[in-house]
């Protein structure tokens, strides 16, 4: 017979007996089930917390990565802003310098822009393309008609070397040996080619250039063109000599505008490299109207 305890309880409703061994067994079963339940809950909780932690760490890493990228982009943006500010400041300085340069050019060529005229329009009025410059240098006298060796007599008042009296010298005497080739300094039409005894020029060529300009070549030995010939800049027109009132071989060279003598030296030294110099030095030519008109003409090279 198995050993066990029996507990008897007597109350108003009667007598109740409990088998202690069965009670303990049931209690242990319930306790085990409860502990198992707690274990499962604990495992699930731990797994969930671990999953949540990993997910949070992943989010944290993404946030840190995004933050670093934002910091990098912000740094790049700040650098770009600084560079843009520097560029804008440089552009502002360039525009100010350009405006001053345009003002200088406007002063040189006599332009008077309207009030509040945009800078781009002012630039368009003053800028000259390479074709414009080539056109101007093709049609208006420039450069030396002979290989430049210097000047023996300058433009202006002097004592005439043969007449021995003070008079105005309307040109320059270019140093040159006998029979030195002479070339046209601009396109034009030969107005005169022959001996001009009354003036003392001797054998003389006058070329009617464009836009009111004329060039004179005096004291020649030989003339290679005739009246009415059209000549191009750089074309051979004759050879130096000592004809007329001359004390030796040289070339008397004049540049005139509307019959008014101009200082030929400025035109002899004028070219692409110092194109703007003529506007400063020669004030007796209405450069504004000439340039405005010549911008419509292009020489095809």
CATH of the domain at 255: 2.70.70.10
Residue 92 in any domain: the answer is no
Question: Residues with Cβ < 8 Å from 252, sequence gap 6 or more?
Answer: 171, 172, 173, 174, 201, 216, 217, 218, 219, 246
Total domains, the chain: 2
Are 264 and 172 a contacting pair, CB within 8 Å?
A: yes
Helix (H, G, I), strand (E, B) or coil at 15: strand
Specify the pLDDT at position 138: 93
Looking at the fold, whether 147 and 272 belong to one and the same domain comes out as yes
Matching residue, tokens 């009670």: 23
Residue 83 in any domain: the answer is no
Mean pLDDT of the residues in the chain: 86
Whether residue 108 has pLDDT greater than 60: no
Residue 62 in any domain: the answer is yes
**CA–CA separation, 233 vs 139, rounded Å?**
8
Mean pLDDT score, 20-35: 77
Domain end among 72, 95, 115 = 72
Mean pLDDT score, 54-58: 87
Q: What is the pLDDT of residues 158-212, one digit of tens each?
A: 887 777 778 999 999 999 999 999 999 999 999 999 999 888 999 999 999 999 9
Task: Identify which of 285, 253, 293, 250 has the alpha carbon closest to the alpha carbon of residue 269.
Answer: 253
Using 50, 70 and 90 to split pLDDT, how confident is the model at 298? low
Residue 91 in any domain: the answer is no
Backbone φ/ψ region at 234: left (φ over 0), alpha (ψ -120 to 50), beta:
left
Looking at the fold, whether 151 and 48 belong to one and the same domain comes out as no
Domain end among 72, 94, 114 = 72
For residue 261, give its domain range: 143-276
Using 50, 70 and 90 to split pLDDT, how confident is the model at 284? very high
Residue 85 in any domain: the answer is no
Residue 93 in any domain: the answer is no
Domain end among 72, 96, 118 = 72
**CA–CA separation, 116 vs 111, rounded Å?**
15
Residue 11 in any domain: the answer is yes
Residue 28 in any domain: the answer is yes
Using 50, 70 and 90 to split pLDDT, how confident is the model at 106? low
Looking at the fold, whether 64 and 177 belong to one and the same domain comes out as no
Looking at the fold, whether 167 and 272 belong to one and the same domain comes out as yes
Looking at the fold, whether 156 and 58 belong to one and the same domain comes out as no
> Taking the model in full, what pTM does it have?
0.61
């Amino acid at each position: 017979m198995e050993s066990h305890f029996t507990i008897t309880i007597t109350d108003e409703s009667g007598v109740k007996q409990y088998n202690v061994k069965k009670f303990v067994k049931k209690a242990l079963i319930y306790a085990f089930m409860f502990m198992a339940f707690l274990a499962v809950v604990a495992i699930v909780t731990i797994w969930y917390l671990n999953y949540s932690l990993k997910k949070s760490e992943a989010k944290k890493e993404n946030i840190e990565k995004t933050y670093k990228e934002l910091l990098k982009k912000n740094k790049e943006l700040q650098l770009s802003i600084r560079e843009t500010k520097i560029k804008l400041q440089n552009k502002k300085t360039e525009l100010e310098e350009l405006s001053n340069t345009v003002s200088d050019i406007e002063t040189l060529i006599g332009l008077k822009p309207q009030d509040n005229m945009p800078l781009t329009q002012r630039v368009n009025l003053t800028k000259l393309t390479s074709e414009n410059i080539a056109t101007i240098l093709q049609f208006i006298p420039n450069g030396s008609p002979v290989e430049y060796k210097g000047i023996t007599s300058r433009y202006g008042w002097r004592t005439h070397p043969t007449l021995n009296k003070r008079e105005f010298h309307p040109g320059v005497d270019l140093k040159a040996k006998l029979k030195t080739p002479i070339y046209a300094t601009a396109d034009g039409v030969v107005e005169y080619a022959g001996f001009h005894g009354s003036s003392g020029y001797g054998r003389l060529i006058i070329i009617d250039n464009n836009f009111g300009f004329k060039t004179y070549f005096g004291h020649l030995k030989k003339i290679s063109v005739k009246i009415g010939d059209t000549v191009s800049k750089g074309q051979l027109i004759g050879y130096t000599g000592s004809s007329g009132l001359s004390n030796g071989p040289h070339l008397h060279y004049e540049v005139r505008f509307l019959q008014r003598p101009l200082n030929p030296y400025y035109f002899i030294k004028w070219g692409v490299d110092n194109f703007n110099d003529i506007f400063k030095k020669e004030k007796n030519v209405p450069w504004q109207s000439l340039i405005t008109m010549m911008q419509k003409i292009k020489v095809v090279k």
